[in-house]
């Protein structure tokens, strides 16, 4: 039988004292100490630390409705009970005298807050939403000769957040799209926005490729951020790898605590990582340290490209097809050579000058050690030493992990920097193998979930694209243009139809294209982002703003302009724990409150320890997205409410008011109130404007979609053999080596 430390403290000491006391030793003082433990008789609820994307699991002890202690959960596999000082002090968010627990209202031009009941707030907010929506709603637009239903409201913006739960983000996405909102974002737009297109283009999805625990299996680890201090608990896996003999190479302009644990610190000029990664790619190829069998079997390196495609190495920085007058590309040469069946042709020897591998080699041929020294400021000798160590962690028996955080994301060429890192890992065979990976260290514990659940302007929950009015006027057009011919996303039509059915219920039928017209249609792709709608506020085109768990007065690019923009709004709703800079934007230092007419509704939010819902964390379980449930706890500040309730209240103000002051089990995400809220949201959305623009049912609207689902099923992804094939004997020592490595690691043997 195993006995945890907590069990021992709770039960063991009393039993031990009885046994020993019977032997003549008086342990009553010890027993008294045990009974005075804070957690005695407290009920433990699982939670997740909100401060960073390690998402450390917590046990939150609650007694008499109060949080009495927060500790790391020893059963969590990726943290094993650890919390860093930030995580240990999260109770200060719940028990904080500066936390606001009642609703506040700031009238136009007023110089102070007024306290208001929630009933009143919800009714007023609902009226503002309706007024702005009615004033800015666009039902149809002319696209060519056709009248296209767009059901779009550009006059309201909504910010979800990666500190909100999956359920909250999903309901925000559903409600916002139901209202026709296109200005919808979360904090992922500002932090790891470059990660998703880079990882998505390389691997098919935008999450990190491995999990944090697996880092312990690496032979070389290359952090490019201050991992030890910014994501501290997960750094234990780096240190475990080091105990096994792994080398740590820290690439950072600053010498930090991560540098102090590293074998080599590589000081690099800020913003030049792309040249450093390019230098490593060149070194790996020219010194033949790439993993040939892996590259042939698992990457598109052997595929043959159109001979007319020219790359920047051949055209002085431009790809073929550039039109200087229009400043855009004709992409007709950007394609593979196809065989008679429509599949890309291959050269598995990797010698054909038009294969992807040779193009890559030529492209990176100029990234010499001298260029790295000139651009990055890294001495040539140091670079060659580092390149040799890092690229040696390749082949069947070795792997390397590389990590990054915001320094790559926040660069003007952030996507290209991360993409270069991904390509380096691919040619070294460091993806999908124990100890290999690209680790994206994110800022909040639910960046992944907020993004998965669709609070971003360009996508719907689960990543189908938010439709555009030009190319996607009908569901058939939309599915034809957004569904690829190969790979996992051939299932896109199923995802979209399931979502439409979930949102519109019985109103979504095959005859009316599953009520596709109800979805708002964007005017163009380059619009409605965080930055775009702040400009809209500045120009007074966006009139209302709902902000939950984010502080755009501080975290926006050009924050001064962002604050001015928010002062131009007609109304703003802020749901947060404290009076944030955003909530107080009308009275910031140097601003005369009377000069701003923005009406502000402040609703106190629930802290993560108060809520009841789930997170999706890519770091815990790699790209597989571990869903972590957080259970209900009683809320300390009785007036605070989760964003689920605040959002639902907009749809049903009277019910929201009746529940003020309560946050019991009925308000759980799966409880009766939340369920009723979801039904109410659906009914309301259907009753309101989303019925506008309904068009006549059309037979056979999904013909294109159905045609793709032939009896043979979706076609396999081009260029990637089935995983089993890679492990077959045809790949010789490489594949056997992979299997040997896997067997050894599964047996728990180190190297
Ligand atoms: S490492 Fe991150 S998630 Fe874990 S306790 Fe510290 S701040 Fe919280």
Q: What is the pLDDT of residues 582-593, one digit of tens each?
A: 999 999 999 999
Q: What is the pLDDT of residue 33?
A: 62
Q: Per-residue pLDDT averaged across 518-537, rounded?
A: 96
259 C-alpha to ligand 1 centroid (Å): 20
Distance from C-alpha of 339 to C-alpha of 346, rounded to nearest angstrom:
9
Pocket perturbation via mutation, ligand 1, pick of 86, 257, 448, 620 by most ligand atoms within 8 A of CB = 86
Q: What is the pLDDT of residue 295?
A: 97
Distance from C-alpha of 186 to C-alpha of 532, rounded to nearest angstrom:
13
User: Rounded to the nearest 5 degrees, what angle is found at the Cα of 690, between the Cα atoms of 685 and 694?
Assistant: 140
Distance from C-alpha of 664 to C-alpha of 668, rounded to nearest angstrom:
7
Q: What is the pLDDT of residue 684?
A: 47
Pocket perturbation via mutation, ligand 1, pick of 52, 92, 447 by most ligand atoms within 8 A of CB = 52
For the domain spanning 104-191+453-463+526-605+640-691, the CATH number is 3.40.50.740
Concatenating the DSSP letter of every residue in 430-472 gives: -SSSTT-EEEE--SSTTHHHHHHTT-STTB-TTSPBPPBTTT-
Distance from C-alpha of 205 to C-alpha of 479, rounded to nearest angstrom:
19
231 C-alpha to ligand 1 centroid (Å): 6
Q: What is the pLDDT of residue 731?
A: 31
CA nearest ligand 1 atom 6, residue: 84
Checking if the pLDDT of 18 tops 60, the result is no
Spell out the residues 6+ positions from residue 412 whose beta carbon is closer than 8 angstroms to its own. Answer: none
Distance from C-alpha of 210 to C-alpha of 622, rounded to nearest angstrom:
4
Q: Which of 192-201, 363-372, 501-510, 521-530 has the lowest mean pLDDT?
A: 192-201
Distance from C-alpha of 675 to C-alpha of 681, rounded to nearest angstrom:
10
| Ligand 1 atom having least distance to the Cα of 51 | 7
Checking if the pLDDT of 706 tops 50, the result is no
639 C-alpha to ligand 1 centroid (Å): 28
645 C-alpha to ligand 1 centroid (Å): 27
| Ligand 1 atom having least distance to the Cα of 234 | 1
Q: Per-residue pLDDT averaged across 674-680, rounded?
A: 50
541 C-alpha to ligand 1 centroid (Å): 40
Q: Which of 346-355, 365-374, 439-448, 454-463 has the lowest mean pLDDT?
A: 439-448
Q: Per-residue pLDDT averaged across 284-312, rounded?
A: 96
Give the best-scoring range by mean pLDDT among 22-36, 56-70, 584-598.
584-598
Q: How confident is the model at residue 691 (pLDDT cuts 50, 70, 90)?
A: very low
Tell me phi and psi for residue 43, to 5 degrees.
-95, 135
Q: What is the pLDDT of residue 608?
A: 63
Q: What is the pLDDT of residue 714?
A: 31
Q: What is the DSSP letter of 528?
A: S
Q: What is the pLDDT of residue 32?
A: 62
CA nearest ligand 1 atom 8, residue: 87
Domain boundaries, given as residue ranges, for the chain: 1-37, 104-191+453-463+526-605+640-691, 195-304+346-440
* 442 against 236, higher pLDDT: 236
Checking if the pLDDT of 369 tops 90, the result is yes
**Domain 195-304+346-440, classified CATH 3.40.50.2300, yes or no:** no
Pocket perturbation via mutation, ligand 1, pick of 72, 84, 446, 630 by most ligand atoms within 8 A of CB = 84
Partners of 329 in the β-ladder:
322
Tell me phi and psi for residue 74, to 5 degrees.
-65, -15
Q: In 3-state terms, what secondary structure has residue 151?
A: strand
Taking the model in full, what pTM does it have?
0.75
Q: Which of 97-101, 148-152, 300-304, 504-508 has the lowest mean pLDDT?
A: 97-101
Pairing verdict, β 181-185 and 146-159: parallel
Checking if the pLDDT of 501 tops 80, the result is yes
Q: Per-residue pLDDT averaged across 594-609, rounded?
A: 89
Q: What is the mean pLDDT of the chain?
A: 81
Give the best-scoring range by mean pLDDT among 8-22, 77-91, 667-681.
77-91
Q: How confident is the model at residue 176 (pLDDT cuts 50, 70, 90)?
A: very high
Pocket perturbation via mutation, ligand 1, pick of 47, 48, 51 by most ligand atoms within 8 A of CB = 51
* 270 against 204, higher pLDDT: 270
Q: What is the pLDDT of residue 682?
A: 55
Q: What is the pLDDT of residue 307?
A: 95
Q: What is the pLDDT of residue 653?
A: 36
Distance from C-alpha of 716 to C-alpha of 205, rounded to nearest angstrom:
17
Q: What is the pLDDT of residue 451?
A: 85
Which amino acids bring their CB within 6 angstroms of ligand 1? Answer: 49, 51-52, 54-56, 83-84, 86-87, 231-233
Checking if the pLDDT of 272 tops 60, the result is yes
The pair of structure tokens assigned to 352 is 């054909």
92 C-alpha to ligand 1 centroid (Å): 14
Distance from C-alpha of 420 to C-alpha of 432, rounded to nearest angstrom:
17
* 165 against 645, higher pLDDT: 165
Q: How confident is the model at residue 722 (pLDDT cuts 50, 70, 90)?
A: very low
Pocket perturbation via mutation, ligand 1, pick of 87, 230, 607 by most ligand atoms within 8 A of CB = 87
Checking if the pLDDT of 613 tops 60, the result is no
Distance from C-alpha of 578 to C-alpha of 99, rounded to nearest angstrom:
5
338 C-alpha to ligand 1 centroid (Å): 49
Distance from C-alpha of 205 to C-alpha of 51, rounded to nearest angstrom:
24
Q: What percent of the chain has pLDDT over 70?
A: 76
Distance from C-alpha of 613 to C-alpha of 669, rounded to nearest angstrom:
6
Torsion of CA 369, 373, 379, 381, to 10 degrees: 10
Q: Per-residue pLDDT averaged across 342-349, rounded?
A: 94
Q: Per-residue pLDDT averaged across 202-216, rounded?
A: 89
Checking if the pLDDT of 659 tops 60, the result is no
Q: What is the pLDDT of residue 30?
A: 65
Which residue's entry shows tokens 């913006």? Answer: 157
Q: Which of 30-44, 136-150, 396-410 has the lowest mean pLDDT?
A: 30-44
Checking if the pLDDT of 637 tops 80, the result is no
| Ligand 1 atom having least distance to the Cα of 83 | 5
User: Which segments of 652-731 does DSSP mark as H helices, in order?
Assistant: 653-658, 672-687, 703-708, 723-726
Q: What is the pLDDT of residue 578?
A: 93
Cβ density class 517-541: b for 16+ within 10 Å, e for less = bbbbbbbeeebbbbbbbbbbbbeee
CA nearest ligand 1 atom 4, residue: 56
Q: Per-residue pLDDT averaged across 719-727, rounded?
A: 31
Which residue's entry shows tokens 């309301």? Answer: 684
């Amino acid at each position: 039988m195993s006995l945890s430390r907590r069990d021992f403290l709770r039960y063991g000491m009393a039993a031990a004292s009885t046994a020993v006391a019977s032997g003549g030793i008086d342990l009553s003082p010890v027993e008294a100490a045990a009974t005075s433990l804070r957690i005695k008789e407290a009920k433990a609820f699982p939670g997740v630390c909100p401060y960073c994307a390690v998402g450390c699991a917590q046990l939150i002890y609650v007694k008499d409705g109060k949080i009495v202690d927060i500790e790391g959960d020893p059963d969590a596999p990726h943290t094993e009970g650890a919390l860093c000082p930030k995580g240990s002090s999260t109770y200060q968010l719940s028990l904080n005298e500066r936390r606001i627990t009642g609703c506040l209202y700031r009238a136009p031009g007023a110089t102070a807050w007024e306290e208001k009941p929630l009933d009143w707030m919800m009714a007023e907010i609902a009226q503002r939403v309706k007024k702005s929506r009615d004033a800015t709603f666009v039902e149809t637009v002319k696209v060519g000769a056709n009248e296209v239903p767009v059901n779009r409201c550009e006059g309201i913006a909504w910010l979800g957040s990666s500190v909100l739960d999956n359920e909250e983000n999903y309901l925000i996405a559903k409600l916002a799209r139901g209202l026709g909102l296109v200005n919808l974002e979360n904090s992922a737009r500002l932090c790891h926005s470059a990660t998703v297109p880079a990882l998505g283009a390389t691997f098919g999805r935008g999450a990190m490729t491995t999990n944090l625990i697996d880092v312990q299996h690496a032979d070389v680890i290359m952090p490019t951020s201050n991992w030890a201090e910014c994501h501290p608990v997960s750094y234990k896996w780096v240190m475990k790898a080091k105990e096994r003999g792994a080398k740590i190479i820290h690439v950072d302009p600053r010498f930090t605590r991560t540098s102090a644990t590293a074998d080599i610190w590589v000081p690099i000029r800020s913003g030049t990582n792309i040249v450093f990664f390019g230098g490593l790619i060149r070194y790996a190829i020219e010194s033949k340290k790439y993993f040939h069998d892996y590259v042939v079997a698992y990457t598109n390196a052997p595929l043959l490209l159109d001979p007319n495609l020219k790359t920047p190495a051949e055209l002085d920085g431009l790809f073929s097809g550039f039109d200087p007058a229009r400043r855009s590309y004709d992409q007709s040469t950007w394609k593979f050579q196809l065989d008679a069946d429509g599949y890309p042709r291959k050269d598995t020897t990797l010698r054909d000058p038009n294969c992807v591998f040779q193009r890559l080699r030529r492209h990176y041929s100029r990234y010499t050690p001298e260029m790295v020294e000139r651009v990055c400021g890294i001495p040539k000798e140091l670079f060659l030493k580092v390149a040799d160590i890092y690229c040696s962690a390749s082949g069947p028996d070795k792997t390397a992990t590389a990590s990054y955080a915001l320094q790559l994301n926040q660069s003007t060429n952030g996507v290209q920097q991360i993409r270069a890192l991904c390509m380096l890992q691919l040619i070294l065979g460091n993806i999908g193998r124990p100890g290999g990976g690209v680790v994206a260290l994110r800022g909040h514990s639910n960046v992944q979930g907020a993004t998965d659940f669709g609070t971003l302007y360009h996508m719907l929950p689960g990543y189908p694209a938010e439709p555009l009015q030009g190319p996607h006027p009908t569901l058939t057009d939309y599915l034809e243009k957004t569904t690829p011919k190969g790979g996992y996303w051939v299932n896109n039509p199923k995802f979209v139809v399931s979502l439409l059915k979930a949102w519109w219920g019985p109103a979504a039928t095959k005859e009316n294209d599953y009520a596709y017209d109800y979805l708002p249609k964007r005017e163009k792709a380059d619009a409605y982002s965080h930055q775009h709608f702040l400009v809209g506020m500045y120009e007074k085109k966006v009139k209302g703003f709902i902000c939950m768990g984010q502080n755009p007065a501080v975290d926006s690019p050009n924050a001064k302009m962002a604050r001015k923009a928010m002062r131009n709004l007609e109304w703003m709703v802020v749901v947060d724990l404290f009076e944030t800079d955003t909530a107080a934007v009308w009275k910031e230092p140097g601003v005369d409150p009377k000069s701003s007419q923005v009406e502000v509704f402040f609703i106190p939010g629930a802290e993560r320890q108060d809520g009841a819902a789930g997170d999706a964390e890519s770091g815990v379980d790699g790209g597989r997205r571990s869903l972590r449930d957080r259970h209900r706890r009683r809320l300390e500040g009785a007036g605070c409410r989760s964003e689920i309730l605040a959002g639902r209240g907009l749809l049903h103000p009277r019910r929201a008011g009746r529940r003020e002051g309560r946050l019991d089990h009925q308000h759980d995400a799966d409880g009766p109130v939340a369920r009723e809220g979801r039904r109410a949201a659906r009914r309301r959305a259907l009753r309101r404007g989303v019925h506008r623009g309904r068009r006549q049912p059309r037979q056979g609207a999904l013909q294109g979609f159905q045609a793709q689902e032939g009896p043979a099923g979706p076609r396999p992804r081009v260029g990637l053999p089935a995983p089993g094939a890679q492990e077959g004997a045809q790949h010789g020592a490489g594949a056997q080596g992979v299997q040997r490595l896997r067997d050894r690691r599964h047996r728990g043997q180190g190297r």
